[in-house]
Amino acid sequence: MATATSPLAQAADVRQLRTRRSRKDVLGLSDTRATAHPTLLQAFQTLAQAGYHVSQTGPTHWIIRGRTPLPEFHCYSEGEIQQFAASRT
């Protein structure tokens, strides 16, 4: 049996996603529901093949750079790195 969500609940979900993306998550990396890379290692390999360099600066902080120093993308969870790899390559 499928459960249906109310239109009010759906509208709240949409507002929450818009708020998160526009204010805190400009690249939309926090939404990891459809990540195509099951492991962090596979995400690193995919990014390396696409020409990105990933450096870890802290326990939960990675910086992703392309062939030039800028732009650089800061990720604060493994899920964000996996989402970045899935969306950029």
What are the pLDDT digits (tens) for 24-40?
A: 565 666 555 555 556 88
If DSSP codes are grouped into helix, strand and coil, which group holds residue 65? strand
Give the residue among 81, 6, 10 at the shortest CA–CA distance from 47.
Answer: 81
pLDDT at 84: 87
Q: What percentage of residues in the chain have a pLDDT greater than 90?
A: 30
* The two three-digit tokens of residue 82, written as one number: 């996996």
Give the residue among 75, 86, 77 at the shortest CA–CA distance from 34.
Answer: 86
Region 49-61: mean pLDDT is 93
* Mean pLDDT for the chain overall: 74
Phi, psi (rounded to 5 degrees) for 40: -65, -40
pLDDT at 86: 85
The model's pLDDT over 38-52, given as tens digits with 9 standing for 90+, comes to 688 999 999 999 999
State yes or no: cis peptide before 69, omega within 30 of 0. Answer: no
* The two three-digit tokens of residue 41, written as one number: 């290692």
Is the pTM value of this prediction over 0.75?
no
